[in-house]
Structure 1
Amino acid sequence: MLTGSTAIGDISQLCQRWEALQLQVHPMFVLCTLEDKLRVQPGDLGKPTLEAVTAEIERTYVDKVVPDLGLVITLYDILDVSGGYVFPSDGAAHFDTKFRLVVFKPFIGEVLVGKLKACDKQGLQIDLGFFSDLHVPDYHCPEDYWFHSQDGLWAWKYDGNDLFLDLKDDIRVRVMDVRFHPVPNEVERKGNENDPNKHPRGTTDNPFSPMTIIASVKDEGLGMISWWGEGEE
């Protein structure tokens, strides 16, 4: 199970043309065809070509975010491998490859179910099990939602009662936006020496997420699944 995600900052070697097809398993996963020139390390040249190329694809892509494409879940298959060129002063072999990846990128308007991971006055954070950079900002909550600062939880004022959104319970949300963020440059990683309150990006105080999903709980049927008389999905 994937627990985090990393950005692929340099995608200059990626083929600019890629094909995305919906998998029958779930629409939030897509099957993407990519072409890349992979560099197989000298230490792996003793392995069968397909095994060495597979390992390099998985090392380069799996559990990484490809900008504008999504979070790579796994390698689906390899369609073609050719080349194996060794350039002067470089002991590695370079292979032209074509392969398919299973990628997580939900479409706008798609409904997802996850666990309520955390919340504060700014909104909710949802955990899908393999991806947790899913946020419901306060402006995507209904007007009768309010933040109970004493308990640190959001609640829905319904028929004179407060229905709390309890952590770790199942919640249903609708995707409003999928955002990709550039990898922090050296200045951003070091922070601002003149402003001690501005923490470097990629740290605990200012974490970096290469991909975030913005969602809403405004529509009927959204919010905590227990409110709608349903069991766990």
Structure 2
Amino acid sequence: AERNMGCANSRYHPKNADLVKLKKKYETDAIKSAKLLNIWVIGGNKTRTLQLAEIISQQQNYMLITEDLLLQKEMASGTERSNIVREILDDKGVICPGIVLDMVVETILEKLDEIKGVVFHGIPRNREQALHLQRLVGAASLVIYCELKGESLRMALTDEGEEPSTIKSKVDHFQKSVLQLSKHKTTMTVDGEKDPMELVEDCLEKIVEQENGIKLLPEAQ
């Protein structure tokens, strides 16, 4: 099940089946023993949450991982897998979560010696991907939830010309996902209406606390 993670789902493009055939088994113990700080930035307004994630990664010198960045890197690689990914995206299809996690692992392993933390934006998408992500790279150190309420959330999630029923189901789905992702021992809820520059200081303070917490852990149990 882990190998196919969600790839059999009819929502995903049928070519994902070809990607599954190319999946490799990754040894991720090195990532977990590096005890990287894993920061997840989640929220309804993707532009603002991405800005916040970018600022945090720059200030802390952490690696930024987003699905867009992973897919751009993949498309530039010229591999067999990248050709299939390109076909799916050209067809306006969605790459299944398990394949995206392979790309996450590859990207972190390439730079493992140089990084002390990772900021994730748009990944994990849901509870299932969150569980798999944590199995691969270690537990989330901090979830930063940029909260929007009521009409602000509806507007952030709405695409032009959508039916009210579609909007309602998107909002319901989003709230359910956020509830699952933010049920975490270290979740920091911030005001999603604010400019990311106003939020970053508090976020960095919390991240430094987490960094210090990691340093204080005994080396051997």
Scaled by the length of structure 1, what TM-score is found? 0.23
Higher RCO, 1 vs 2 (CA within 8 Å, ≥6 residues apart): 2
Q: Which has the higher helix share?
A: 2
- Whose strand fraction is larger, Structure 1's or Structure 2's? 1
TM-score normalised by the chain length of structure 2:
0.24
Whose radius of gyration is greater, 1 or 2?
Answer: 1
